Amino acid sequence: MRKRVLITGGMGYIGGRVAASLLQEGCGVVLGGRNAGTPPDWLPQAEVFPMDWHSGESLRSACHGVDTVVHLAAMNDSECARDPVAALEVNGVNTVRMVEAAKAAGVSRFIYFSTAHIYGAPLAGCIDESTLPRSRHPYASSHRAAEDVVLAAAGHLSPVVLRLSNGFGAPMHRGANCWKLLVNDLCSQAVADRTMTLRSSGLQKRDFITMRDVAGVVSHMMDLDRTVLGDGIYNVGGGRSMRVLEMAEAIQRRSVEVLGYLPEIVRPEPAESEANPDLEYRIGKLLATGFSFQGDFEGEIDSTLRLCRDGAP
């Protein structure tokens, strides 16, 4: 077995895909969560470890015998907006607790999933890791605070901070909390309503990356030599931006192949004064470490449509 990995938030959207990918590569995977129990049906080979975020002993036990911690347990953007204090507690303070536990347990690498939104919202212009963060939302600011905690542990761990753009693709299970994300939402609408309704004109640009490649970045970072990590901060994206409308049109085309019909796209007309700046979310630093894309853009859309239609990945 190559390595033993603890994934906090391992039952979630990103965590589930990362866990499944690492298991396929021969890693031992521990899913850290709030409750004890048997492994989920969709990942029976994994271990499950109940974690008490207010118990240092519990967190240290979760890290026992672990080579790498992948820390994903966090509140999402809407939850953070509703309760900014809890956002800082869960996304920030719990990361401090997790880092301290990992240090005490002798973990060799700590991979933290942050967000591209630490650069501001909406994302615009050319953005690389040297771009000044402008966190204007509790979701972003709490992740930004956690980043500093993770990076400050460089004397004890090999910390990695991944600033993720827009990952998309089918979750490991239908109950994952991911259906408000753009691509998944549009796929769900295409199946349920045969219509995809955009909340905006769709002319704004976003950077999209397949979930397979998100998982691939984790595997790549686990194996990367410490001397190559540099400051440990990496933008993670697809390497090109596209308009939201273009993504909707891609889902529309795949719906014809997968579902057998063409769902209508409904959207507000753009306002005369609407500004939609270009976006270049630069990932050159990641690519310079030797990472290469393996994901199938259309395949991720297809699998999401099938999950929405059939109820299983």
* Spans of all domains in the chain: 4-168+208-236, 182-206+240-277+296-310
Q: Cα separation of 92 and 26, whole Å?
A: 31
Q: Cα separation of 155 and 256, whole Å?
A: 53
Threshold 0.75, pTM exceeds: yes
CB 154 within 8 A of CB 215: no
pLDDT band at 156 (very low <50, low <70, confident <90, very high): confident
CATH domain 4-168+208-236 topology: Rossmann fold (3.40.50)
Region of 112 please: left (phi>0), alpha (psi -120 to 50) or beta: beta
What's the whole-number mean pLDDT along residues 281-310? 96
What lies within 8 Å, CB to CB, of 72 at 6+ separation is 7, 8, 9, 10, 12, 14, 15, 18, 113
For domain 182-206+240-277+296-310, which CATH number applies: 3.30.420.40, 3.90.25.10, 3.40.50.10490, 3.30.1490.20? 3.90.25.10
Same fold flag, 4-168+208-236 and 182-206+240-277+296-310? no
For residue 128, the model assigns a pLDDT of 97
pLDDT band at 276 (very low <50, low <70, confident <90, very high): confident
- Pinpoint the alpha helices (H) of 68-181: 77-82, 84-87, 94-105, 138-151
For residue 312, the model assigns a pLDDT of 61
pLDDT band at 136 (very low <50, low <70, confident <90, very high): confident
**The pair of three-digit structure tokens given for residue 158, joined into one six-digit string:** 């090999």
Decide if pLDDT at 274 tops 90.
no
